[in-house]
Amino acid sequence: MANKFLNLVESTIQRMTNGGILVGDRVDLVDNYKSKDSYKGLADTVKDYIEKIFKDTDLNKKVINIKTDMPSRAPGNEDNRAGVYTADVAIELANGLYDNKNAVSIPADLLIQNTEGHDEDFGKAPVPDSVKYDNKVQIDPEEVKQEDEQTELTRMTQQGDSLKPTEIYLPKQNTKIPAGGTVSKPSQVGNYTTQYMG
């Protein structure tokens, strides 16, 4: 039953049956929003706050909730899908992190989906200039420069009673290690193998 219910909800709530916007959309104000009756009906403090969040910062503004004008108390009631919508808009502080505490309810006819600078895929919103910074990470490989041994005097190792320069470089040739074999006669290997392979 749960799967059928989810399919029913997903087929009912679509962009053009939901005021033209969906939760998660990046939005902006329409061009003539001040001349609309829905904007004129807002309180002056709400108007100032809308101006502040859309004009004072370049962070992305995302829809976090969509409500109908007069929702019913029953969630499954068809009256919940009306023709007048209000969207809760919050500033996106980081990718997926919304400032829910300072969200504002805006009539949906004042908003337009902002697709500038990215495609319709999830998570492809452009990064605002205010959060960009000069990254000092060097991605391209660079040739390692060997330090001058004459100027490198601070790295010293105490060996016994004296200080000696620390060996900080890898050897440039193989080091021969004096060692004897573990088997004195090669024929012993063959005899051992024949004993257990038999």
118 domain-assigned: yes
Q: Is 86 among the domain residues?
A: yes
Name which residue leads in pLDDT, 158 or 151: 158
Q: What distance in Å separates the CA atoms of residue 151 and residue 62, rounded to the nearest whole number?
A: 57
What is the pTM for the complete model shown?
0.59
Q: Is the pLDDT at 130 greater than 90, yes or no?
A: no
User: Residue 41: pLDDT band by 50, 70, 90 thresholds?
Assistant: very high
Q: Please report whether residue 171 resides in a domain.
A: no
Q: Are 23 and 66 in contact (CB under 8 A)?
A: yes
Q: Is 149 within the bounds of a domain?
A: no
Domain range spanning residue 111?
21-124
* 62, part of any domain: yes
Give the Cβ contact number of residue 20 at 10 Å: 15
Does position 57 have pLDDT exceeding 80, yes or no?
Answer: yes
Looking at residue 166, its pLDDT comes to: 79
Query: What residues contact residue 74 under an 8 Å CB cut-off, 6+ apart?
Result: none
Residue 110 lies in a domain: yes
The whole-angstrom separation of Cα 78 and Cα 85 is: 14
Tell me which H or E stretch contains 64: strand 61-68
- What is the CB neighbour count within 10 angstroms for residue 72? 12
Q: Is residue 58 one of the residues assigned to a domain?
A: yes
* Among 118, 122, 58, 145, residue whose Cα is nearest residue 93: 58
Question: What is d(CA 86, CA 110) in angstroms, rounded to the nearest whole number?
Answer: 9
Domain count across the chain: 1
CA angle 6-7-12, nearest 5°? 100
User: Is pLDDT at 153 greater than 90 in this prediction?
Assistant: no
pLDDT confidence band for 162 (50 / 70 / 90): confident
Residue 176 or 43, more confident:
43
The answer to whether residue 107 sits within a structural domain is yes
Per-residue pLDDT band at 35 (split at 50, 70, 90): very high
Residue 120 has pLDDT above 70, yes or no: no
